[in-house]
Amino acid sequence: MRFKQLFFLLAIGGLLIVSNVSVVFAAPESKQLSLADAVAITLADHPGLAAMKTRAEALATVPSQQGSLPDPRLSLNMLNLPIDSFDFTQEGMTQLQIGFSQMLPFPGKLALREAVAEHESTVAHWQVEELRLKLVRDVKTVWWNLYFTDRALEIVARNRELLRQFVDVAQTKYKVGKGLQQDVLLAQLELSKLHDQSINLQGVRRNQVVQLNTLLDQPTNSPLQLPQRITETLAEITDEQRLLSYAAKNRPVLAAAQSKIDAARARLGLAKKSYSPDFKLGAAYGYRGGENIDGSSRDDFLSVMFSMNLPIYAGARQDKAVDQRTSQVLQNRYELDDAHSRVAAEVSRALADYQQSREQTSLFKQGIIPQAAQTVASMLAAYQVNKVDFLNLVRAQITLFNYETRYWRALSQGNQALARLTAAIGKQSLFDGDEKNNWN
């Protein structure tokens, strides 16, 4: 009678254990790091992003420099000074001169140079935004990998405890002559396998903690603890065409590629302007000392200067420069077309992965896992009265363990696919503001 009571209590305990998918796993004591906090910390502290922001800020100061005239030149000269006496009054052509000159690029050149710099600054701005999206995607990916590992460790710990109970039951039945020694050995073997899985998962978790701490710009050995409860719903997303259209308009890498084309066009315009000369204007005042033969004071001199460069080697210089800039425009156009193709592929692949994971999580949570849990409970009760052998009971429990693990893996992969999809269309969050229900 006592033996049957033991089995009854074990059956009830097994039902309680297998039905609870969220048993707390012992983790190092530390503040729980939510996904939103991880993203915020990364965007605030990541040195790579800070470096690129600084570069963009530096490039933003260039356009006004390129659009300004060159600095004027001030000259101080001594002209026709006799070297025999170094007397400023001896010769009538001796003078002290002060001059002023200014380079004047051909009209339109300064505007084109400023346009090139503005487009390059815009490219840097969009590169910062692209890096921001990639960092958010990477943080989310590593965070969800770590979250899955924690759930897998919970499941392993729970199943190890359950298999220990199976070992105790098998040993009890063997001692009273109602069980087989092979049942005890089988349970111990499965228990050892779970211990091996726990060791492997702990190693994986340590590596994931290092990756996430690196993205957070924290010491790599800083302990991390994630929340134990999250929203397990994956929203429906079906409007692929709208996602592709949004990505084409808002993805920073595409905007950067377009700005590169604009910069290349401005350089081409500047190359065509190189056929036109630049000018130099100047004026100088010359002071003369001493007196003329008639005793009058010598007059001072005023000089006006004009010069220009002569682009007479156009075949070897200007023509080649135009050819070069034309090729660069074509190159950047091809790069934009390629970027559009890559972005569209990223969106489609991420959406396909997300939809697959969403269907799998629904199937596991609503169908397979409850059915597997009922199977284990039924077999446990049947094993109590020797209607099911121990091997089938263990197999059923392992099957439940595998399905629970696959559920959390599918949920994690679905959220990682969502992170990739969100970054691919140029957003940090897909379900913010009024767009929460606009993707299906």
Is the pLDDT assigned to residue 154 strictly greater than 80? yes
Name, in order, each residue with C-beta under 8 angstroms of 135's C-beta and a sequence gap of 6 or more. 42, 43, 46, 48, 49, 215
Average confidence (pLDDT) over 392-402: 83
DSSP state of 291: B
Name, in order, each residue with C-beta under 8 angstroms of 58's C-beta and a sequence gap of 6 or more. none
> How would residue 328 be classed by pLDDT, with cut points 50, 70 and 90?
very high
Average confidence (pLDDT) over 369-380: 84
> How would residue 230 be classed by pLDDT, with cut points 50, 70 and 90?
confident
Distance, in Å, from the CA atom of 426 to the CA atom of 440, rounded to the nearest integer, reads 18
**pLDDT computed for residue 433 by the predictor:** 54
Is the pLDDT assigned to residue 7 strictly greater than 80? no
**How far, CA to CA in Å, does 293 sit from each of 37, 92, 287?**
92, 10, 18
For the chain, percent of residues with pLDDT exceeding 70: 87
> How would residue 12 be classed by pLDDT, with cut points 50, 70 and 90?
very low
Tokens representing residue 316 in the block? 């070897």
**Of 396 and 7, more confident:** 396
Average confidence (pLDDT) over 81-86: 87
> How would residue 438 be classed by pLDDT, with cut points 50, 70 and 90?
low
**pLDDT computed for residue 418 by the predictor:** 95
Closest among 143, 149, 199 to 405, alpha carbons compared: 149
CATH architecture of the region 2-69+106-276+314-435: Up-down Bundle (1.20)
Average confidence (pLDDT) over 426-437: 69
DSSP state of 429: -
**Phi-psi domain of 106 (left: phi exceeds 0; alpha: psi -120 through 50; beta: other):** beta
**pLDDT computed for residue 302 by the predictor:** 94
Average confidence (pLDDT) over 332-348: 96
pLDDT in tens, 258-309: 999 999 999 999 999 999 999 999 999 999 988 888 888 889 999 999 999 9
Average confidence (pLDDT) over 212-216: 93
Average confidence (pLDDT) over 17-30: 41
**pLDDT computed for residue 91 by the predictor:** 86
**pLDDT computed for residue 327 by the predictor:** 96
Distance, in Å, from the CA atom of 411 to the CA atom of 417, rounded to the nearest integer, reads 10
| pTM value surpassing 0.85 | no
For the chain, percent of residues with pLDDT exceeding 90: 61
Dihedral sign for Cα atoms in the order 161, 370, 404, 386: positive
> How would residue 122 be classed by pLDDT, with cut points 50, 70 and 90?
very high
Distance, in Å, from the CA atom of 357 to the CA atom of 35, rounded to the nearest integer, reads 19
> For 203-210, which contacts have Cβ atoms below 8 Å and span 24 or more sequence positions?
204/149, 205/146, 205/149, 205/150, 205/153, 208/142, 208/145, 208/146, 208/149, 209/146
| Cβ(193)–Cβ(200) below 8 Å | no
Is the pLDDT assigned to residue 236 strictly greater than 80? yes
Is the pLDDT assigned to residue 17 strictly greater than 60? no
Q: Considering only 133-137, 168-172, 347-351, which range has the smallest mean pLDDT?
A: 168-172
Q: Considering only 40-44, 345-349, 373-377, which range has the smallest mean pLDDT?
A: 373-377
**pLDDT computed for residue 252 by the predictor:** 96
**Three-state DSSP state, 102:** strand
Residue recorded with tokens 């001594």: 78
Kindly tell me the number of DSSP H helices and DSSP E strands found in the chain.
Answer: 11, 4
Share the mean pLDDT of the chain. Answer: 86
Distance, in Å, from the CA atom of 304 to the CA atom of 351, rounded to the nearest integer, reads 71
Residue recorded with tokens 């910062």: 128
* Number of residues in the chain: 440
